[in-house]
Amino acid sequence: MIEIILASSSKYRRQLLGRICNKFKQLSPNVDESILNNEQPLDYVKRLSTNKANVIARKHPKALVIGSDQCAIFNNQILGKPGTREQAISQLSSFSGQQVTFLTGVCLAEYHTSSSHYFVDTTSVHFKKLTLEKIEEYIEIDCPLDCAGSFKVESCGVFLFDKVVSDDPTALQGLPLIGLAKLFEHLNLDLSDLMNQ
C-alpha cells in the first residue's frame, strides 16, 4: 500500500482527488507563489507544481506526492487570485467577450526514488459579453475571491461562459484527473489500487 499525499491546501483539489483516490493525506506546502522577474507562464506553473510536490516529498520520502498549480493568462499577463471583490469585478470586466487561457501543472514526486513526473493542461475559456450588473450578481452568489480568474467552474461560473475548450473537464477546477490517472497508470497504480486502499 502506497501513501499518497496531496501537496495543497485547496479544498477544490481535495474534492477532485477524492473522486479517484479513496485514501490520501492533504498537507499544505507553504511555498512562495510570487512570480519571478520575466518568468513565463509555462515556467511559472511548472516551478510551483514541482516545488509544492518536492517540499512535501522531502518530509515524507516514501510517499507519492502530488503538487499542482494553476494560472490564468490574459493579454500575455499572469493573473492571480483576485482576493477582493473589487479585483474580481475588474478581472471579469476585462474578460467580457474575450478568451482566457488557463495552465494547470501537475507534478508527481517520489523522494525515495528521486523521480518526478510532470505535465501541464491548457484550457481556453471563452467569456460571454458581461455587464457590470451580471458580474456583480455572480460575485455575490459564488464569492470566487480565492479562485484564479474570479470564477468557480464547478458552481455558477458556467453562466459566464460561451464555451470551454479542453482535453480534460476537471483541469479548470484545479487538478486534471485524466492526466493524473495516466501518471498513476504509468507507475502501475490502477483504479482498484487507488479506491481500495
DSSP code per residue over 95-111: HTT-EEEEEEEEEEEEG
Paired strand residues for 77: 74
Please check the confidence at residue 122 and state whether its pLDDT lies above 80.
yes
Task: Classify residue 187 by its DSSP letter.
Answer: T
- Are the beta carbons of 70 and 10 closer than 8 angstroms? no
Q: Which region holds residue 10: left if phi is over 0, alpha if psi is between -120 and 50, else beta?
A: beta
Q: What does the pLDDT read at residue 76?
A: 85
* Confidence band of 36 (pLDDT split at 50, 70, 90): very high
Give domain 4-195's CATH architecture. Answer: Alpha-Beta Complex (3.90)
Q: What does the pLDDT read at residue 77?
A: 87
DSSP letters, 111-175, are GGGTEEEEEEEEEEEEEPP--HHHHHHHHHHH--TTSTTS--TTTGGGGGEEEEE-S-TTGGGT-
Q: What does the pLDDT read at residue 149?
A: 87
Please check the confidence at residue 98 and state whether its pLDDT lies above 90.
yes
Residues 6+ apart with CB under 8 A from 149: 72, 79, 91, 95, 100, 102, 125
Q: What does the pLDDT read at residue 150?
A: 92
Instruction: Spell 45-59 as b/e; 16+ CB within 10 A means b.
Output: bbbbbbbbbbbbbee
Mean pLDDT (whole number) for 97-122: 93
What is the residue whose three cell numbers read 498549480? 69
Gap between the Cα atoms of 150 and 80, Å rounded: 9
Task: Classify residue 73 by its DSSP letter.
Answer: E
CB atoms within 10 A of CB 163: 11
Q: Among the listed ranges 69-73, 75-79, 157-161, which one has the minimum average pLDDT value?
A: 75-79
The dihedrals phi and psi of 43, each to the nearest 5 degrees, come to -70, -35
Predicted confidence (pLDDT) per residue in 10-19, tens digit: 998 999 999 9
Q: What does the pLDDT read at residue 52?
A: 97
Please check the confidence at residue 197 and state whether its pLDDT lies above 70.
no
Please give the distance of CA 7 from its chain centroid, rounded to a whole number: 12
Mean pLDDT (whole number) for 86-103: 95
Please check the confidence at residue 104 and state whether its pLDDT lies above 90.
yes
- Residues with a catalytic annotation lie at 69
pLDDT mean across residues, the chain? 92
Q: Answer with the residue of higher pLDDT: 95 or 111.
A: 95
